[in-house]
Amino acid sequence: MLRRLFTVLAVTGVLAAPLSAQTYPTSWDPSIMERPDVKSALALLEQRFPQQVEEWIRIAEIPGKSKLEQARGAYVKKVFEEEGLQQISVDSIGNVTGVRKGTGGGPTIAIAAHIDIVFGPEASDGKVRRVGDTLFAPGVGDNTASVANMLATLRAMNATKFTSKGDIIFIGTVQEELGLKGMAYWLDHNTAPDLLIVPDGAYGVVSYGALGIYWTKYVFTSPGSHTLGSRGRPTPVRAVAEAINRLYALEFPALPDGAVMNIGQVHGGEIFNSVPQELYFTVDLRSPDPVLLDSLDEQITRITTEVAEKQQVGLRVEIDQKSRAGGTEKQLEGARAHPLVQTAIDINRALGISAGMPGAREAVATGATDANIGVVRKIPSIAIGGSRASGAHQLTEYALASTALPSTKLLYLLTATFADGVKTMPPARIVP
Ligand SMILES: [Zn+2]
């Protein structure tokens, strides 16, 4: 597990040679923690944390498979109503929105936590198993922890009469696991916020980039035939075999700045004694580099088309997801320089939140969360982990409950820091 995690972090750029000493503008002013309302909010989050964990478990036990998030949406909506948010709505894809109005003249901050999870109720008993500080359940880390963190942040703001100049928009997004579809819909149908904060992703790492993700299905077709008449006849099986072979022969640079391609599914054929009429495989292609991503995508389409022609079979290309890439680290230097990123790093340091791996980067120019949608639209956007968790997208997923408290404080302090405007403090020096 650790070695696998090391590999994942190394590939996603978290473990890489530290950048040469570079200073970035920050808005973090530690003295904010002495501000009476902020001080009492942080104390309240600590005091109420046992209830927050109970709520986390309650939400984790509400079915929330992507596209079937309605019950979780209703729960979040109820809390938004109880907490007096305005303009509460559930849009036609199921995103739940509520606005905590500011006094005016400040940046609009959107906090978006996805409420969907990968697994449906059929996959487990739907119960959270608690062993000491560890919570076991599918989706408990990704992303139910962050939903509970978002609601606890809202309650702490209200209980301490927190005021902001800017509006704070709370969003429970849907279909994140199906390609960030809820967030894309939300930004297509609402005014873009000035800042987007997404509780999701790796604990202790600030993600300010967007890994482009293309999911495509290549379906090869033929009239089919019985085995007895199959000799020398076109078959989608040979086409699939040849196409896959040629795709794996493609050469391209590796992540973090290059790309990764995975053929995750091959399906088709019902019986022994016939040439199947349809056979398909799926490609999961990812890169932060929009140019590389599109050129690889084009090469794959060209290769599959050539193979289909050569093998005299039909081809249907079905796009399941095309989440755009936000740019390589070099291309995202502007985004890295926005104080939202350094401020999150500084608050992580102040709260003692870290990825817990020697050499792990505090900020990465990649990400596969709802923040991606903000990044590619040039909205200052970051993703911040909701808890230290492991086994995301697996039935064995677990999260360390106690780590959600500092994550919630991070979310609260980030919002409090920017609520009245994006001001920058004297640059913080990064010690390599
Ligand atoms: Zn997630």
Whether residue 70 is predicted with pLDDT greater than 80 in this model: the reply is yes
Whether residue 1 is predicted with pLDDT greater than 50 in this model: the reply is no
Q: Looking at residue 259, what is its pLDDT?
A: 97
Please give the structure tokens belonging to residue 413: 């302090």
Distance 93 CA to ligand 1 centre (A): 18
At a CB cut-off of 8 Å and minimum separation 6, what does 84 contact? Answer: 158
Please give the structure tokens belonging to residue 179: 């390609």
Least confident of 16-20, 25-29, 111-115, 132-136: 16-20
Q: Looking at residue 422, what is its pLDDT?
A: 81
Distance 168 CA to ligand 1 centre (A): 21
Distance 83 CA to ligand 1 centre (A): 25
CB 145 within 8 A of CB 387: yes
Burial of 414: CB neighbours in 10 Å, binned 0-12, 13-18, 19+: buried
Looking at the structure, tell me whether residues 218 and 164 fall in a common domain. Answer: no
Whether residue 298 is predicted with pLDDT greater than 50 in this model: the reply is yes
Distance 407 CA to ligand 1 centre (A): 15
Long-range interactions of 80-83: CB distance < 8 A, separation 24+: 80/154, 80/170, 83/154, 83/155, 83/158
Q: 367's torsion region: left (phi>0), alpha (psi -120 to 50) or beta?
A: left
Q: What CATH number is attached to the domain comprising 245?
A: 3.30.70.360
Distance 197 CA to ligand 1 centre (A): 13
Give the amino acid at 31.
S
Average pLDDT, the chain: 93
| pTM for this predicted structure | 0.89
Whether residue 250 is predicted with pLDDT greater than 70 in this model: the reply is yes
Distance 306 CA to ligand 1 centre (A): 37
- For 158-183, the pLDDT digits (tens) are 999 999 999 999 999 999 999 999 99
In a domain, 427, yes or no: no
Q: Looking at residue 146, what is its pLDDT?
A: 98
d(C-alpha 156, C-alpha 152), whole Å: 6
In a domain, 269, yes or no: yes
d(C-alpha 421, C-alpha 34), whole Å: 19
Q: Cα-flanking dihedrals φ and ψ of residue 148, to 5°?
A: -65, -35
Looking at the structure, tell me whether residues 335 and 304 fall in a common domain. Answer: no
Looking at the structure, tell me whether residues 307 and 333 fall in a common domain. Answer: no
Looking at the structure, tell me whether residues 154 and 224 fall in a common domain. Answer: no
Confidence of residue 25 (pLDDT cuts 50, 70, 90): confident
Whether residue 278 is predicted with pLDDT greater than 80 in this model: the reply is yes
In a domain, 429, yes or no: no
Q: Looking at residue 21, what is its pLDDT?
A: 58
d(C-alpha 220, C-alpha 99), whole Å: 48
- Whole domain around residue 202: which residue ranges? 2-209+326-418
Q: Looking at residue 423, what is its pLDDT?
A: 78
Share of residues in the chain with pLDDT > 90 (%):
87
Distance 137 CA to ligand 1 centre (A): 14
Looking at the structure, tell me whether residues 151 and 187 fall in a common domain. Answer: yes
Alpha helices per DSSP H over 167-235: 181-189
Q: Looking at residue 426, what is its pLDDT?
A: 66
Confidence of residue 427 (pLDDT cuts 50, 70, 90): low
Give the amino acid at 334.
G
Distance 176 CA to ligand 1 centre (A): 7
Domain stops at, among 283, 302, 323: 323
- For 87-121, the pLDDT digits (tens) are 999 999 999 999 999 999 999 999 999 999 999 98
Looking at the structure, tell me whether residues 278 and 255 fall in a common domain. Answer: yes
Q: Which helix (H) or strand (E) holds 373?
A: helix 371-376
Protein residues with C-beta less than 5 angstroms from the ion ligand 1: 142-143, 200
- When divided into structural domains, the chain yields a total of 2
Distance 390 CA to ligand 1 centre (A): 12
Give Dmax (Cα) for the chain.
83
Confidence of residue 2 (pLDDT cuts 50, 70, 90): very low
Looking at the structure, tell me whether residues 118 and 12 fall in a common domain. Answer: yes
Distance 169 CA to ligand 1 centre (A): 19
Looking at the structure, tell me whether residues 154 and 198 fall in a common domain. Answer: yes
CB 145 within 8 A of CB 53: no
